[in-house]
């Protein structure tokens, strides 16, 4: 079917809301669509507007990567209601490190991962050898991967149809993965995870586009107080750096040393009788109250980090003229956590007072409480730990069960998840084994898989590809440092990765709840959501955040007895919430 922009609604005849629709955008020329065995092409110089018109029909857009297709839509003012991101689901299903169309197609069809399309052409890519997007070896043509699909309407429709074909394969595969929830009669958890991971990929595009609101005057003042006035020359920058160093040197006898050299800092500390095996901040903090030199050194480190990572160059590079801090967001790295550049995931607490919207707007901040221990209770199926997770503060009942104080109980639970066995954690773990044997067995099983280089899946179905490490582990031996390291990674990844999936499902639900308003999610920080909204709309946004958590818990934690809690507040700056 070939239609013009005047007949956009006819481009998806017979579509039911929620049906998957393959989408390919041809900038300045049109959009190609594939659905239910049919294809169409809308010829229009404004493809984004055509997609906006079709949104009313309720399609679930299928695209190869949100970084390509959704980025164009969001920049044009369109925020799709629903999508299936083939790259995101490919990472979930196959543990891919890439999300390009070539890698995603190959994984879905059981083919070897191809080289990136920038490589040399082969005979299979030469004109006349392949007349279609799919080569004779089953791989996608690298010419098509470079954009040849956009040369004409028929090719664009074929590209959309290939996306839809891949979606059907992925959906079948995710629906066939094990679902460990006790509840019956629900959509499989891996399928729901595929939907939320897709929406998280879309959300990352929106986060990159929208940016984090910054009060530039407050930020400038904070930087000037911490690292000095903005330098205008390299000499001024060097002088400011030396002035920070002098504040530390003045607290120690003898000649100055390079404070950026750990060995030199150890020697400096030895001058005042402090002998430490390393100079990590956590090791030095106990000395700060009694040693002005250590206090000055720790303060210097904070200032140095801000100067080198979050200084004046950072503002010039990553903050726009509209006073929005922008970075590149990723939906899943490692075990599945979201990532961000421009320092958005590591912004020092000293600079958070500058994170504030303009007058008349506020931030709604929501922080999931004790999320990883609660996730452990759910994914391990430990009924005793799930009982503790029904409390607002689950460490209190854990402490009673262990016969310890709350701080010791917290150490015990965290040590169990992170594989820490030395110091106070070792004794606490024995009590954990006695009180929560199901959770501990679950964690030890994951650790054993990691030590042997065996693949694992998170609760939501994400593949943790550890088998690629097997040769390395076999050479190193089962008792090697390498084996212990990957064992600890696997032990934590099955919890951390599952918690990341839960968080993204919650964020996607919140996004749907605030759609249609000018409220926007502006930060996702592991277990913390930051939403910018009009002050008069804050109460409604808070209600959406809290109801979305309960809605997400109703299917993610179904049958586990685990309760999820969040601390939600309305603030003028991010710092006010801490």
Please state, in angstroms and as integers, the Cα–Cα distance from residue 81 to each residue in 117, 272, 401, 555, 561, following that order: 31, 62, 46, 20, 31
Tens of pLDDT along the chain (578 residues) come to 666 555 776 778 888 899 999 999 999 999 999 999 899 999 999 999 999 999 999 999 999 999 999 999 999 999 999 999 999 999 999 999 999 999 999 999 999 999 986 545 555 555 544 568 999 999 999 999 999 999 999 999 999 999 999 999 999 999 999 998 766 678 999 999 999 999 999 999 999 999 999 999 999 999 999 998 999 998 998 999 999 999 999 999 999 999 999 999 999 999 999 999 999 998 999 999 999 999 999 999 999 999 999 999 999 999 999 999 999 999 988 889 999 999 999 999 999 999 999 999 999 999 999 999 999 999 999 999 999 999 999 999 999 999 999 999 998 999 999 877 666 667 778 889 999 999 999 999 999 999 999 999 999 999 999 988 777 776 777 678 888 888 999 999 999 999 999 999 999 999 999 999 999 999 999 899 999 999 999 999 999 999 999 999 999 999 999 999 999 999 999 999 86
Query: How far, rounded to the nearest angstrom, does the alpha carbon of residue 475 sit from its chain's CA centroid?
Result: 33
Which two structure tokens, joined as six digits, stand for 81? 């209601």
Every domain of the chain with CATH number 3.30.70.370 lies at 327-344+355-371+502-577
For residue range 463-472, list pLDDT tens digits in order.
999 988 777 7
Q: What's the rounded Cα separation, in Å, for the pair 516 and 500? A: 26
> Where exactly does CATH 3.30.420.10 map onto the chain?
2-122+137-176
Indicate where the chain has its CATH 1.10.150.20 domain(s). Answer: 372-499
Alpha carbon distance 199, 506 (integer Å): 11
Fold of 2-122+137-176: Nucleotidyltransferase; domain 5 (3.30.420)
- DSSP H or E run through 510: helix 481-513
Instruction: Give the model's pLDDT for residue 4.
Output: 57
Contact predicate 125/142, CB 8 Å: yes
Q: Where in 399-550 does DSSP place strands (E)?
A: 456-457, 463-464, 520-525, 528-534
Q: Which residues contact 536 (CB under 8 A, 6 or more apart)?
A: none
Distance of alpha carbon 214 from alpha carbon 134, whole angstroms: 47
| Helices 481-513, 189-210: inter-axial angle, 10-degree rounding | 80
Cβ burial of 374 (10 Å; 0-12, 13-18, 19+) is buried
Q: What is the pLDDT of residue 64?
A: 97
Going by CATH, does the domain composed of 372-499 fall within 1.10.150.20?
yes
| Model confidence pLDDT, tens digit, residues 124-161 | 555 544 568 999 999 999 999 999 999 999 999 999 99
pTM: 0.93
How far apart, in Å, are the Cα atoms of 367 and each of 5, 212, 516, 547?
A: 45, 17, 24, 14
Number of CB atoms found within 10 A of residue 399's CB: 20
Alpha-carbon distance 403 to 323, whole Å? 52
Fold of 327-344+355-371+502-577: Alpha-Beta Plaits (3.30.70)
Tens digits of residue pLDDT in 331-365: 988 889 999 999 999 999 999 999 999 999 999 99
Residues in the chain: 578
Residue spans in the chain of domains classed CATH 1.20.1060: 216-315
pLDDT at position 181, please?
78
Q: Which CATH class is domain 216-315?
A: mainly alpha
């Amino acid at each position: 079917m070939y239609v013009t922009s005047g007949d956009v609604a006819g481009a998806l005849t017979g579509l039911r809301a929620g049906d998957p629709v393959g989408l390919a955008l041809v900038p300045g020329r049109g959009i190609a669509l594939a659905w239910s065995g049919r294809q169409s092409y809308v010829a229009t110089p404004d493809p984004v507007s055509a997609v906006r018109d079709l949104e009313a029909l309720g399609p679930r857009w299928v695209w190869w990567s949100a970084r390509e297709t959704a980025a164009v839509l969001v920049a044009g003012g369109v925020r799709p209601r629903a999508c299936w991101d083939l790259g995101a689901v490919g990472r979930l299903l196959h543990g891919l490190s890439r999300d390009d169309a070539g890698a995603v197609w190959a994984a879905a069809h059981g083919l070897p991962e191809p080289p990136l399309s920038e490589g040399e052409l082969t005979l299979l890519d030469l004109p006349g050898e392949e007349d279609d997007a799919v080569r004779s070896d089953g791989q996608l043509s690298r010419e098509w991967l470079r954009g040849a699909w956009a040369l004409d309407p028929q090719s664009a429709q074929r590209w959309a149809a290939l996306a839809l074909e891949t979606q059907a394969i992925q959906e079948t595969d995710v629906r066939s993965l094990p679902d460990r929830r006790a509840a019956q009669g629900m959509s499989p958890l891996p399928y729901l995870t595929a939907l939320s991971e897709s929406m998280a990929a879309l959300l990352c595009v929106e986060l990159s586009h929208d940016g984090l609101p910054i009060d530039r005057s407050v930020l400038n003042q904070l930087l000037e107080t911490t690292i000095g006035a903005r330098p205008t020359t390299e000499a001024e920058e060097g002088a400011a750096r030396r002035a920070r160093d002098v504040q530390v040197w003045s607290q120690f006898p003898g000649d100055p040393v390079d404070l950026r050299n750990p060995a030199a800092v150890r020697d400096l500390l030895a001058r005042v009788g402090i002998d430490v095996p390393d100079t990590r901040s956590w090791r030095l903090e106990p000395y700060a109250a009694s040693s002005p030199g250590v206090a000055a050194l720790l303060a210097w480190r904070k200032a140095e980090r801000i100067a080198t990572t979050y200084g004046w160059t950072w503002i010039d590079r990553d903050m726009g003229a509209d006073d929005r801090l922008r970075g590149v967001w990723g939906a899943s790295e490692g075990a599945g956590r979201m990532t961000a550049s421009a320092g958005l995931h590591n912004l020092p607490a000293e600079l958070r007072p500058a994170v504030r919207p303009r007058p008349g707007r506020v931030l709604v901040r929501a922080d999931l409480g004790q999320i990883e221990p609660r996730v452990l209770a759910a994914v391990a199926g430990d009924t005793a730990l799930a009982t503790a997770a029904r409390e607002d503060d689950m460490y209190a009942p854990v402490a009673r069960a262990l016969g310890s104080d709350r701080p010791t109980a917290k150490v015990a639970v965290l040590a169990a998840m992170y594989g820490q066995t030395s110091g106070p954690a070792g004794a606490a773990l024995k009590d954990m084994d006695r009180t929560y044997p199901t959770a501990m067995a679950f964690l030890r099983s994951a650790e054993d898989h990691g030590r042997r280089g065996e693949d694992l899946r998170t609760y939501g179905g994400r593949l943790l590809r550890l088998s690629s490490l097997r040769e390395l582990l076999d050479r190193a031996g089962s008792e090697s440092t390498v084996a212990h390291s990957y064992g600890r990674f696997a032990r934590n990844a099955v919890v951390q990765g599952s918690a990341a999936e839960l968080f993204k499902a919650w964020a996607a639900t919140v996004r749907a709840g605030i759609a249609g308003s000018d409220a926007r999610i502006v930060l996702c920080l592991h277990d913390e959501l930051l939403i910018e909204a009009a002050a008069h709309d804050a109460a409604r946004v808070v209600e959406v955040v809290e109801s979305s958590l309960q809605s997400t818990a109703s299917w993610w934690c179904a049958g586990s007895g685990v309760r999820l809690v969040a601390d939600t507040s309305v603030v003028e700056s991010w710092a006010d919430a801490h």
